[in-house]
Amino acid sequence: MRTDIAIRAFFVFAFGVGLISCNNSRDYKNTSRATGWDINSDEGGFQYNSDYKEQETAPGLVFVEGGTFTMGRVQDDPMHDWNNTPTQQHVQSFYMDETEVTNKMYLEYLSWIKRHTPPSEQRYRNIYEGALPDTLVWRNRLGFNETMVNNYLRHPAYAEYPVVGVSWIQADEFSNWRTQRLNEMKLMEEGYLAEGAQYKAGPGELFNTEGYIHDPENVYGGNAELSQGEEVQERLEDTNDEGNPRRKVYASRESGLLSPEYRLPTEAEWEYAALGLVGIRNYNVYRGRKKYPWDGQYTRSGDVKRQGDQLANFKQGDGDYGGIAGWSDDGADITAEIKSYAPNDFGLYDMAGNVAEWVADVYRPIVDDEFNDFNYYRGNVYTKNAINEDGSVRILGADEVVYDTLANGKLIARNLPGEIAQVPVTEEDTYMRTNFTESDQRNFRDGDKSSTRYYQPFQDATDPSKRMYNSPTYDNVQLNDTTGTVAQRGYDTETRTTLISDEVRVYKGGSWRDRAYWLDPAQRRYFPQDMATDYIGFRNAMSRVGSKSKTENKTARN
277, pLDDT greater than 90: no
Q: Is residue 374 part of a domain?
A: yes
Q: What is the pLDDT of residue 483?
A: 55
Residue 263, SS3 per DSSP: strand
Q: How confident is the model at residue 181 (pLDDT cuts 50, 70, 90)?
A: very high
Range with the poorest average pLDDT among 180-194, 254-268, 291-305, 365-379: 291-305
The answer to the question of residue 497 being in a domain is no
Confirm whether 145 is domain-assigned. yes
- Distance set, CA 444 to CA 88, 367, 379 (Å): 20, 12, 9
Task: Summarize the confidence of residues 24-30 as an average pLDDT.
Answer: 57
Answer whether residue 554 shows pLDDT above 70: no
pLDDT at 249: 76
The CA-based angle 155-177-128, given to 5 degrees, is 55
Q: Under DSSP, is residue 365 helix (H, G, I), strand (E, B) or coil? A: coil
d(CA 143, CA 164): 18
The burial class, CB within 10 Å (0-12 / 13-18 / 19+), for 451 is: middle
pLDDT digits (tens, 9 = 90+) for 340-369: 999 999 999 999 999 999 999 999 998 999
- Number of compact structural domains in the chain: 1
pLDDT of residue 7: 57
Q: According to the model, what pLDDT value does residue 443 have?
A: 87
Determine, yes or no, domain membership for 488.
no
Asked whether residue 39 is domain-assigned, the answer is no
Highest mean pLDDT among 9-23, 310-324, 352-366, 395-409: 352-366
Q: Does the pLDDT value for residue 24 go beyond 60?
A: no
Of all residues in the chain, what percent carry a pLDDT higher than 70?
Answer: 79
CATH code of 88's domain? 3.90.1580.10
- pLDDT confidence of residue 285: 58
Residue 168 lies in a domain: yes
> Distance between CA 128 and CA 114 in Å, rounded?
6
**What would the mean pLDDT of 10-30 be, rounded to a whole number?**
53
User: Which of 114, 91, 27, 137 minimizes the C-alpha distance to 377?
Assistant: 91
pLDDT above 60 (res 12)? no
Look up residue 161 and give its DSSP letter. S
Residue 475 has pLDDT above 70, yes or no: no
**Structural domain of 525:** 61-190+251-379+502-557
507 in helix, strand or coil?
Answer: strand
Asked, for residue 323, whether it belongs to a domain, the answer is yes
Nearest to residue 351, comparing CAs of 512, 513, 521, 514?
521
Question: Which pLDDT band, with edges at 50, 70 and 90, does 169 fall under?
Answer: very high
More confident residue, 451 or 230: 230
Highest mean pLDDT among 4-8, 68-72, 186-190, 358-362: 358-362
Kindly tell me if the per-residue pLDDT of 151 is higher than 60: yes
pLDDT of 555 strictly over 50: no
Q: Is 98 part of any domain? A: yes
Confidence of residue 434 (pLDDT cuts 50, 70, 90): very high
Percent of the chain at pLDDT exceeding 90: 54
Asked whether 264 and 172 are in contact (CB, 8 A), the reply is yes
User: For residues 204 and 1, which has the higher predicted lDDT (pLDDT)?
Assistant: 204
What pLDDT digit, counting tens, does each position of 45-84 carry? 788 888 888 999 999 999 999 999 999 887 767 777 778 8
State the pLDDT at residue 462: 59
